[in-house]
Structure 1
Amino acid sequence: MTSPAFTPAFTLAHADALVRFPEQRVDTARRTIGYRRAGDRHLLTMPIVMLHGIGSGAASWVRQLETLGENHPVLAWDAPGYGQSTHVEPVSPVASDYADALSDWLDALEIERCVLVGHSLGSLIAGSFAIRQAARVAGLLLLSPAGGYGAAPAHVREEKRDARLAMLAELGPQGLADKRSANMLSAGAGEDAREWVRSIMARIDPAGYSQATHLLANADLASDLTHFKGRVAVAVGAEDTITPPAACELIAKAANVNLQVIPGAGHAGYIEAPVRYSALIEAFAAQCKQSKGAMQ
């Protein structure tokens, strides 16, 4: 059952609610990272750090900033090449390039340890960070994780990469949003959620999206997860057609956990079903906090 703490009315539309969580930015030694945050007054509670997918951004987590910020510091970044965040250096980056940027950002904000939540492409970054800096990850929650094509034959990786890049070149950000955003949600998603996904996807920076496309082609999340021994959970919407349950089952198996399937939700389930996803994140964070207490 959903906790009473996660039954908000959500009287404001997504864009109106976002005003409460303005863009912030921090300069690290190597780049600028833009982000949004909530719950600053809870300084002694373990932070929840959220990483968005390839066609998204920090703003997509507005409902989680609203709800989770009541009990936790919550931070959502714009990945390198998104929003105000500067790009990673390689033209064809790998997951560790983004993991290094994540490390620099957490250092700049003086966050020593956190609950890390990755959605879709964000899961590739989260997984890479976790195996490199396991002590900083209290728990790893992967929502509709992209597995990456790093384990596929070279011609498959190239075909997947080049097809996505060609679509971007042909359509541009707005055209991409018009054509692809509906695939992010289930058939039952509300119009406000649909418009929010379209709006965020239309804001992508083509150069940043291109680098993220290379990341998707180069990464192998399942391999990374076999090397992480910390707490992991994997969840997917039952109506997800982009990273469907069968694909996410392979990721869960690599992490040696059971896959959680959220009824009625699509790929961006945390946008269309925020109450259920916030409850899922909250419950996972509570487990991580209990584990920390048991170790002390």
Structure 2
Amino acid sequence: MDAKRLTLDSGVQCYREQPRPEPAPTLVLLHGISSGAGSWAKLAEHLPGYRLLAWDAPGYGDSRPLPAKAPSAADYAQRLEAWLAGLGIERCVLVGHSLGAMMAGAYLASYPGRVAGVVLADPAQGYGDADEAKRDEVYRSRWTQLMTQGHGAYARARAPRLLREDAEPADVARVEAEMGKLHVEGFAQAGWMLANDQLGDYLAATPAVPALVVCGDEDRITPPEDARALADRLGLPYRDIPRAGHASYIDAPAAFAAALDDFARPLFGGAAAPEIS
């Protein structure tokens, strides 16, 4: 995927793109709290028929952090709208992984016009309704460890938990590499959002566009039972990603790509993409 940047009124927004000949439909990929745009490269190999746009969320990579020290998912959605508008995207499927699912939900709530469908992958649902002590614990649980341990030690300790028990060493290295790019400021802002906001504030009922919940069947961060409960609450279809942990699109990219293709292809007229690999 090609590394690119777009200068917005709010600052530089960085992203990766897998370009395709027109009229390839667009999937917009929103990474989780400990990741970045580069984490989607393995999945991109399995989606040859789609234009893929993967952002580095504000405060990640070289993307400018949000101005608010205590942002909500709606603040990330506002930047997402500026970026998609700047790229001239008229219609896309949003794929939000983990914390990215909260951003996708907030975007759909405020800017539904560009959205053909939404995939909530291994979704984080937030702790906005938890007591103050729990919210403070969640907020401080990641970025303070990064500051104390340093990037290398933090990544070595944390990365394996995002994958299945017998993950490929190359996949563990991929997750570690993305964690090595984290910036404390952006990481802390994202941690605040996770601790003090919640997906249910944006998706309180069945979404107005087609939506799908997927989850790795070995996810230890956002367990499958929680993802299934979310799908049941919203009246949405649910799909397991076999032999996959939290970063299910890294552990099982072919199965994840098949789930995306099965969901997205009908939304773009049924002839959007050649057979996935």
Tell me, yes or no, whether TM beats 0.5.
yes
Offset of 1:219 from its aligned partner?
1.8
Aligned residue runs from structure 1 range 174-253, under 5 A: 174-227=152-205, 228-253=207-232
Question: Does the Cα contact within 8 Å between 1:56 and 1:200 map onto a contact in 2?
Answer: yes
1:243 partner letter = T
2:190 partner letter = A
2:58 aligned residue (80, 89, 105): 80
2:268 partner letter = K
Aligned to 2:3: 23
Output the CA distance in 2 between the equivalents of 1:123 and 1:189. Answer: 23
Offset of 1:247 from its aligned partner?
1.6
Aligned residue runs from structure 1 range 106-145, under 5 A: 106-145=84-123
Aligned to 1:4: none
Which structure shows the bigger proportion of residues in helix conformation? 1
- How many corresponding residue pairs? 271
Offset of 1:22 from its aligned partner?
2.8
Structure 1: 5+ residue stretches without partners: 1-20
1:135 partner letter = G
Q: Select between 86-95 and 246-255 the one with higher mean Cα deviation.
A: 246-255
Offset of 1:252 from its aligned partner?
1.4
Question: Does the Cα contact within 8 Å between 1:221 and 1:251 map onto a contact in 2?
Answer: no
Structure 2: 5+ residue stretches without partners: 273-277
Aligned to 2:275: none
Structure-2 change in CA distance of 1:115 and 1:37 (3 Å): same
Secondary structure at the counterpart of residue 23 of structure 1 = strand
Question: Does the Cα contact within 8 Å between 2:16 and 2:38 map onto a contact in 1?
Answer: yes
Offset of 1:45 from its aligned partner?
3.0
Aligned to 2:263: 284
Output the CA distance in 1 between the equivalents of 2:227 and 2:84. Answer: 28
2:203 partner letter = L
Aligned to 2:126: 148
Output the CA distance in 1 between the equivalents of 2:261 and 2:197. Answer: 28
The answer on 1:99 being equivalent to 2:80 is: no
Aligned residue runs from structure 1 range 46-57, under 5 A: 46-57=25-36
Question: Does the Cα contact within 8 Å between 1:26 and 1:32 map onto a contact in 2?
Answer: yes
Offset of 1:199 from its aligned partner?
1.1
Instruction: State the Cα deviation string for residues 94-133 of structure 1 (Å, max 9, x = none).
Output: 0011000100000110002210001001111001001111
Pairwise CA RMSD: 1.8
Output the CA distance in 1 between the equivalents of 2:184 and 2:124. Answer: 20
4+ residue runs over 3 A deviation: none
Question: Does the Cα contact within 8 Å between 2:163 and 2:248 map onto a contact in 1?
Answer: yes
Instruction: State the Cα deviation string for residues 71-106 of structure 1 (Å, max 9, x = none).
Output: 121111100001121100111110011000100000
Question: Does the Cα contact within 8 Å between 1:144 and 1:237 map onto a contact in 2?
Answer: yes
Identity over aligned residues, as a percent? Answer: 37
